[in-house]
Amino acid sequence: MNSTVSNNLLAGRRILVTGAARGLGFEFAVALAKAGAKVVMADILADLLASSVQRLQADGLDVFGVTVDLADQASIKQCADQSVAWLGALDGLVNNAAITNSGGKTAFELDPKVWDLVMNVNVRGTWLMTTACHEALKASGRGAVVNLASDTALWGAPNLLAYVASKGAVTAMTKSLAREFGPDNITVNAIAPGLTLVEATEYVPEHRHKLYHDQRALSREQVPADVSGAVVFALSDLSRFVTGQLLPVNGGFVMN
């Protein structure tokens, strides 16, 4: 576990993290729990999720697991309902789950079925999970949504069209949802990590890892802990007047 956040910024918060069985989602769950939150970890990978939850519970962290299929609207609603029931309320939602290993094809080679699946999970799933959690977040009075975008949509990464387009859509959707949810005192922000060393990026060609490493202002590999702090911030009282924003977290590879 690479997370370094260990404070009480989120004491008493109840938070749902999707795609939390492994990778960044797992690290987010660790960081949030260490910051004082009670966390539901949701994922489609039921066996891995159970193992990850048990691992964190053994470390004394207050987490619980719920399976979810972001391509299935009924499953999304069930996940939201189960999460609120276990947590007792809901203060935060981290829309992290996504299909990432959809690259390696040019725009001419990309299978429309892959495009549809990526959009269905990464965009439609994020939208439906957010609306499914809306009422509980509204009731919280301090609701916060964090959508995981990607800096690939900021620099136009080639041969990754479906993923890049989906994350561009998540960024745009974040702004619209921020305006719609603002009257309910719910913040909606997006975080755009750079290429991070997790399981989901193992398929990324070595030349792209080198590109990021060599062109970052901070010349080192990006690790999950680099992103966790931004997520904790976006869910905490420190960011209650920040909404509709995109925060790139990539060591200066892309600068706004």
Can you tell me the distance from the alpha carbon of 153 to that of 2, in angstroms, rounded to the nearest whole number? 26
Q: Which residues contact 229 (CB under 8 A, 6 or more apart)?
A: 4, 5, 31
Helix (H) or strand (E) holding 34: helix 23-34
Place of tokens 């755009």: 192
Tokens of residue 210, six digits: 């080198």
Catalytic residue among 163, 212, 233, 253: 163
Can you tell me the distance from the alpha carbon of 13 to that of 130, in angstroms, rounded to the nearest whole number? 17
Can you tell me the distance from the alpha carbon of 32 to that of 137, in angstroms, rounded to the nearest whole number? 17
Does the active-site annotation cover 203? no
Evaluate whether 244 touches 188 at the Cβ level (below 8 Å).
Answer: yes
Can you tell me the distance from the alpha carbon of 48 to that of 42, in angstroms, rounded to the nearest whole number? 11
Q: Helices 125-132 and 73-87 meet at what angle, rounded to 10?
A: 40
Evaluate whether 100 touches 201 at the Cβ level (below 8 Å).
Answer: yes
Could you list the active site residues? 163
